[in-house]
Structure 1
């Protein structure tokens, strides 16, 4: 809850910017907002396809799609990504997939989604190198310490695994299961297409929805640059443990949009509008769906 408290403090200190952002939402062009809503709905389909591609067994399609919709509401109860992971893990075990293989399928999904998102961002940055002025995002002299901190974390994790025998044994067992599951999945062309096609479609649809909101508000930034902004911002806050990314994602989007050349008020309006469409509008229906799935013992 600490990140949420910090977000509230920052929001109160910069409430005038938020007020200006909400005021600009009134002049948004509705056809583009509807396009953003459509892209958001398709992200649940892409997530369902990717989930199916990560497991050998055939999962019930309608229930799988409903589970992805409900997983968004679960993300608001736990740090980013853990809610959706818990819902999908439970769904696969109820469908008869053993817990070890369900966990391996979840890890494979996360790996595919991360690789697809990072690869897409890298390609877009190569094609549009001027989309972000990265130098304005980090103060001078902070890149080296940041990389050093990441290196220290990696070394610390390796030391923990090396010194804790039981933990090392469990990690080795999970790795063997995960590799066996990955080989089984990649021996089936249909699963490969679903896994990697869905993993690539998911961030593309998210970026398209974000670009549509930018177009709805007349943001003076090209659509391709908006896609780069979205992918870079969401990658930067992936490790911030706020439930549903609330606050951290909005802040990262505003900072990245300003780095791309957008005015602060317009950047705030776009970030707020996108998060309203993708987070707040589906929240109550998603929670009701989650409750119904639990009641029917689908999860």
Structure 2
């Protein structure tokens, strides 16, 4: 057998050698998503240390049994790996980014993964609205909405904003042709995925049941913290306060929803008859259970997933 010509021999390129500094920089880059939430929470605590210390003092005297109940409901309502990323980016972008990356690493095409996240993002507010309406219908007298009902001007502004957003999207799709094809392809993929999912009862229950249960579990955490501090509200009032607050200002971009939703929850619970100081301490305790406690294990799990190249 004659030897192969030199031109036909395979060319083997040596593996690139990375310097120690480049390797350290790569590791730091992978760990950045896990470290940012810890830095953000630490900065917030340093800036508003008085509120943190007062809330911690109240929680130190709280009923530990109700706090354990809050921890139990917290464990039912969060996932550590996505939670760490979500608490640094607004409107659940962090959790969606982690989920999208995970789905892609599992071999799911980008279009299908994006359509799945879009369907989930659409189902969440719809399910929350259904839960809110169910509370209003089931307990119309016990909840005492009072001045919380929006006036006509507020409703008109909200309706106008929704119509403006839809009109802007339609105009962009009509005028900007490069957007039309990918947008229509995304809609077709999303509709096909939705039809396929709704043919499987177990997945329908997981999607809609989980979306409806999430705000109830979050409200149960707040109620448990409030009961441990002596909050003079019922469980239904606390859950409704969260539903109203998150519906009213949930679209405001803030890391993990911290800030606008907290202020709205304090205002809503105060409107139901709770002292402002007690409502504030309840919200701080809620954030401790749902943000601070999950943050460290969430950051560690997220770091491990990145290090193992699962994400």
Q: Into which bin does the TM-score normalised by the smaller protein fall? A: 0.7 to 0.9
CA distance in 1: counterparts of 2:146 and 2:54, whole angstroms: 26
What does the per-residue CA deviation read over 1:106-156, in whole Å, with 9 as the maximum and x for residues that have no partner?
A: 112122222211110111022223525352576885443343334333322
CA spacing shift, 1:132–1:26, aligned 2, 3 Å: farther
Q: For 1:287-298, what aligned pairs fall within 5 Å after superposition?
A: 287-298=299-310
Unmatched 5+ residue regions in structure 1? 45-67
Task: List alignment gaps of at least 5 residues for structure 2.
Answer: 1-39
Are 1:211 and 2:223 matched, yes or no? Answer: yes
The 1:22–1:129 alpha-carbon spacing in structure 2 relative to 1, beyond 3 Å, is: farther
Q: Contact 2:87–2:291 at 8 Å: present in 1 too?
A: no
Task: Show the counterpart of 1:279.
Answer: 291
TM-score (norm 2): 0.78
> Separation in 2 of the partners of 1:106 and 1:141?
34
Provide the aligned C-alpha RMSD in A.
Answer: 2.4
Trace 1:193-272 onto structure 2 (pairs within 5 A): 193-272=205-284
Aligned-pair CA distance for 1:39: 0.6
**Residue in 2 aligned with 1:88?**
99
C-alpha displacement of 1:248: 1.8
Report if aligned partners of 1:116, 1:200 keep a CA contact under 8 Å in 2. Answer: yes
In structure 2, the CA distance between the partners of 1:124 and 1:136, relative to structure 1 (3 Å rule), is closer
Separation of aligned partners in 1, 2:58 and 2:150: 28
Matched, 1:163 2:175: yes
What's 1:37 paired with? 71
Equivalent of 1:129 in 133, 140, 144: 140
What is the rounded CA distance, in whole Å, between the counterparts of 1:122 and 1:110 in structure 2?
Answer: 19
CA distance change for structure 1 residues 216 and 72 in 2, over 3 Å: closer, same or farther? same
TM-aligned CA deviation for residue 18 of structure 1 = 7.1
Deviation at 1:22, TM superposition (A): 4.7
Judging changes above 3 Å, is the alpha-carbon distance between structure 1 residues 141 and 17 closer, same or farther for their aligned structure 2 residues?
A: farther
* Larger Rg, first or second structure (1 or 2): 2
